[in-house]
Structure 1
Amino acid sequence: MNRRTFLVTAGVGVTLSLSGCLDGSGGAGAPTDGFEETNGDGGMSPVGSGNVSLPVPKDDLNRGASKDAIPAIVSPKFGSDWSDVDATLDDGELVIGVELDGEARAYPLAVLNWHEIVNDQFDRPVLVTYCPLCGSAVVAERTVAGDTRTFGVSGYLWQSDLVMYDRESESLWSQVLATAIRGSLTGSQLDLLPSTTTSWGEWRESHPDTSVLLPPPVSDTVTGRQTRDYDRNPYLGYETSSRVGIGFNDDVDDRLHPKARVIGVAHGDKAVAYPLSTLSETPVVNDEVGGLPVVAAATVDGTLVAYDRRVDGSAITFDRESGTDVLTGDGSRWDLHTGRALDGPHEGAALARANDRSLMFWFAWADFFPETTIYSTE
């Protein structure tokens, strides 16, 4: 694996306030502001494609903001659009799309760039998270050991990723790994749920009955009524620069640009990253990851998806209708956005997701899955 150090200052012409991650405290530090210091049993936990020693040492956590300075949403409200709020949501705006038991909701990054966490409720307690520094969306059930947890933003970063805390135990959690890394719940893992990072227009077209998260103060936060300028991106320029995090990453895997967007699939002891740049030039990829048959593709508008291509225990080899978001396989046509069979012998069936996490920046996937391979057509 080739590794080198990337610049940790923004490139020329990059406007990067990092308003959501910095509150002026800066620097590295250990959890000393009320977080639970009980470290659990420690030892090695098989998270990522290698083993991570838990609890994570205090010195490995870096202070980006004070606790709750980035106020998590605890009472989300939804509407059919943003026509009645003082902000705009254009079709091209990115959202995290979640569909559970036939109910679809969209969580705009215009909100999550400022709040990072939404404590929601479908037919079960759900946690929707986004780390702007890693470009990573992770959705999970927020039930641990039978108890519903309410999550907030600790203000710490680990491997440039959002570190969450749960109110009930004050344990600290890695967002990408969905694992408690310090505190009494160390080693506990959240059950991940499927999600898609896509445009509002594309999500709404494929899920016409969707609702969308309304920004605060309509939705309430852990610190009460809050509001931000949701028409402004506090990370403007970050996603195209070589900057990684806020300066704590020394070594970055340079096989891809650090901000290349990838969708990662991990199964067994294998992990594969599928870059948007490659999938945009390849109609459909039929692959296998650690014994899991995978079909991966990019939609016409650039949304990355990956599905388990088994139906009734048999793996299907897929093709694609030219210029469309329709796959063909085993006599049926399949909607690329949802994985559902539109007709034929499998009509009504749905492919399961192959990826546990939505797309993220390459550097983040490589940090947490260091032994990953990169899919290539060469």
Structure 2
Amino acid sequence: MKYSISRIKLVCFIIITFWTVMLFSQQSDNSGKNEVIEYANFLKVMTSDNESESLKAIKYIESNWKPEFEIMVLELLYFSRSTKSDFKLLDLLHKKTGKNYGLDFNRWYEWIWSKDEKLAPYYHKFKAQIHSRIDRHFPRYFSDRQDKRTIRLDEIRWGGVRQDGIPPLRNPTMISAKDADYLDDDNVVFGIEVNGDFRAYPKRILAWHEMFTDTVGGIPVAGVYCTLCGTVILYKTELNGTQYQLGTSGFLYRSNKLMYDKKTQSLWNTIWGKPVVGPLVGKDIQLEYLSVVTTTWGEWKARHPETTVLDLNTGFSRDYGEGVAYKNYFSTDDLMFNVPSPDRSVKYKQSILAIRLPEISDNSIAISTKYLKKHPIYKSEIEGRKFVVLTDKSGANRVFFTENIDIVDYDGSTIATDNNGVKWNIHENHLENSKGKILKRLHSFNAFWFGWKAAYPNTILIK
């Protein structure tokens, strides 16, 4: 034990010395020297096991206070293991900000995010260092990436797990529908179809893993489930000849899981499908997404008896019972991690159907699934392109471009009828009439309202 403590002290001393030298070597003016001293004191609070040294460093921070310190003191408090330091840091926040949110970290974050971003020049190094104690992979997300980003660094929060700590399912075993005796007909599944390859991913399994990577219908894909914001999105992971190996970073942005790619350790926004921090930023990378249908196992296998489904034997030990994973979170409207400017137009976790055309614009539409259940045929347009949403008896939503076809009737299952009496067969990726006319699918997925609104503040809500 003595050896371990000594070793920790030595490592902390080396770290502080290294960053001090680095900062001095890069900046020689008085401002730069002050930044070196500031950063050294934040490191002391972060790493020192000497209570008096830590309190002395906090005193320095208080005497040289800047607005840029708010987020750093908050994050020190969040990760602090010292009762005395906790008290001093909290008292410092109260005194310097005039806010009294106690240990309600979500309120502190929301208050900071309500203002313009104000970060110290060394904040990215601080963020890398404070998270390095959790996972050796984490520093690379932030080190020297202060200018390689499209989102606020202070909005990136640790989600409570290490890199791939929620283990993705890589090339998981799929079984036939008749062999899936562990599933009941009312169990929720996420259904996909790629080039005639039909697959179902039960929510009860995927909620424990939040991602699968595989080749489906000859296409390399990643299915990403952000349980916190209710999205299941299917991405093609090959773009312009590059295959991106994606995983779970362990971090969140606006309560939405951030992915990472193994080669560059860039952070990717799950809803946007593009890198937001790291060397891939600015390279015009945005993954193409495909449709995912949230439905019941009984409805999906009736439509697609040839479907395969995840094997219950995933290689991991989990309680895969229906409704077990995230039971408490899904049972209330409370958020685990907050977002800036939350919108109460509908309940936070009201499921919406997300519709957009990312190849054309960032404009988007969010339609409440409650509204769609009452209106199983819903017609509208986006960016001048007309579409229809057909909602079946299970509540599953499918969206199709309609061109000049006017769908007026739907049997709630597999047949839609237009205003000329022409019947259209409903397939997963298109509508087709008896003459072979095809109306293509508009790719869509479901999400919780609060998460979608946080990603697209200007979205149009239909409720």
TM-score range, shorter chain: 0.7 to 0.9
Identity percentage of aligned residues = 28
- Structure with larger Rg: 2
In 2 relative to 1, CA 38–101 (structure 1 residues): closer, same or farther, beyond 3 Å?
A: farther
Relative contact order (C-alpha < 8 Å, sep 6+): which is higher?
1
Distance, in Å, in 2 between the alignment partners of 1:139 and 1:350 is: 23
Alpha-carbon distance in 2 for matches of 1:145, 1:40? 27
- Preserved contact between residue 112 and residue 129 of structure 1 (Cα < 8 Å): no
What residue number does 1:319 align with? 408
1:139 aligns with 2:234: yes
- Render the CA deviation track for 1:173-217: whole Å, top value 9, x for unaligned: 111111111122124211212222221221111111111122443
1:156-235 to 2 correspondences below 5 Å: 156-187=251-282, 188-217=285-314, 225-231=315-321, 233-235=324-326
- Whole-angstrom distance in 2 between the partners of 1:342 and 1:309: 11
Q: Which runs of 5+ in 1 are unaligned?
A: 1-7, 10-27, 43-53, 218-224
Note the 1:170-319 alignment, pairs <5 A: 170-187=265-282, 188-217=285-314, 225-231=315-321, 233-244=324-335, 246-267=336-357, 268=361, 270-310=363-403, 315-319=404-408
Unaligned runs of 5+ in 2: 1-105, 108-125
- Equivalent residue pairs, number: 324
- Equivalent of 1:361, from 445, 448, 459? 448
SS in 2 for 1:106: strand
Amino acid at match of 1:308: F
Deviation at 1:140, TM superposition (A): 0.8
- Shift in Å, 1:150: 2.0
Q: How does 1:340-355 map to 2 (within 5 A)?
A: 340-341=430-431, 343-345=433-435, 347=436, 349-355=437-443
2:301 counterpart SS class: helix
CA distance in 2, matches of 1:84, 1:272: 36
More strand by share: 1
Distance 2:339 2:433 in 1: 49
CA-to-aligned-CA distance 1:61-84 (integer Å, 9 cap, x gap) = 111111121011123111014847
Q: TM-score, normalised by structure 2?
A: 0.64
2:193–2:428 Cα contact (<8 Å) kept? no
- Cα distance, 1:291 vs structure 2: 0.7
In structure 1, C-alpha distance between the alignment counterparts of 2:295 and 2:246, rounded to whole Å: 24
CA positional deviation for 1:266: 1.9
Residue 120 of structure 1 aligns with which residue? 214
Instruction: Tell me which moved more, 174-183 or 141-150.
Output: 141-150
Cα distance in 1 between the residues matched to 2:459 and 2:347? 15
Separation in 2, partners of 1:151, 1:216: 23
CA distance in 2 between counterparts of 1:322 and 1:70 reads: 40
Per-residue CA shift, 1:199-252, capped at 9, x if unaligned? 1221111111111122443xxxxxxx42211115221142342212x2332531
Question: Alpha carbon RMSD of aligned pairs, Å?
Answer: 2.7
Partner of 2:445, secondary structure, is coil
Q: Is the 8 A contact 1:263 1:273 kept in 2?
A: yes
Task: Please give the per-residue CA displacement for 1:120-169, whole angstroms capped at 9, x wherever unaligned.
Answer: 01212111111111110111111245222222111111110111111122
Is the 8 Å Cα contact of residues 321 and 327 (structure 1) preserved in structure 2?
Answer: yes
Deviates further, 187-196 or 69-78: 187-196
- Name the SS for the 2:399 alignment partner: strand
Summarize deviations over 1:235-292 as a string: whole Å, max 9, x none: 1142342212x23325311111111111121244532211111111113112112211
